[in-house]
Amino acid sequence: MSEWSAGYVADIGYTYGLYPELNPLRIKLAFLHAGLACPEVGTACELGFGQGISVNMHAAASVTEWHGTDFNPSQAAFAQELATASDAHAQLHDQAFEEFCSRPGLPDFDFIGLHGIWSWISDANRAVIVDFVRRKLKPGGVLYISYNTQPGWAAMAPVRDLLTEHSQVMATPGKGIVPRIDESLAFVEKLFATKPGFITANPGVSARIERMKGMNRNYLAHEYFNRDWVPMSFAAMADQLADAKLSFACSAHYLDHIDVVNLSAEQQALLAEIPDAMFRQTVRDFMVNQQFRKDYWVRGPRQLSPAAQQDLLRKQKVVLALPRSKVELTLASPLGDVTLQEAVYKPVLDFLADHQHRSIAEIEAACRPQGLASAQVIQAVFILTGAGSLAAVQDDHAIAGARPQTERLNRHLCQLARTGTEVNYLASPVTGSGMQLDRFNQLFLLAQMQGKRQPADWAAFVADILDSQSQRLQKEGKALDSEAQQAELQRLAGIFAEQVLPLLKALGIAA
Write down the pLDDT at residue 264: 96
Write down the pLDDT at residue 225: 83
* Residues lower than pLDDT 70 in the chain: 1-14, 173
Write down the pLDDT at residue 14: 62
For the chain, which residues make up each domain, given as ranges? 3-150+231-298, 157-224, 317-392
How big is the chain by its Cα radius of gyration, in Å? Answer: 24
Handedness of CA 260, 263, 269, 275 (dihedral sign): negative
Burial zone of 245 (CB within 10 Å; 0-12 exposed, 13-18 middle, 19+ buried): middle
Count the helix, strand and coil residues of the chain and give each as a percent rounded to the nearest 5. 55, 15, 30
Write down the pLDDT at residue 13: 54
* Mode of pairing for the β-strands spanning 390-392 and 433-436: unpaired
Q: Which CATH class is domain 3-150+231-298?
A: alpha beta
Fold for the domain defined by 317-392: Outer Surface Protein A; domain 3 (3.90.930)
Whether 271 contacts 227, CB under 8 Å: no
Write down the pLDDT at residue 307: 97
Write down the pLDDT at residue 155: 92
Write down the pLDDT at residue 257: 96
Picking from 34, 36, 37, 59, the residue whose alpha carbon sits closest to that of residue 46 is 59
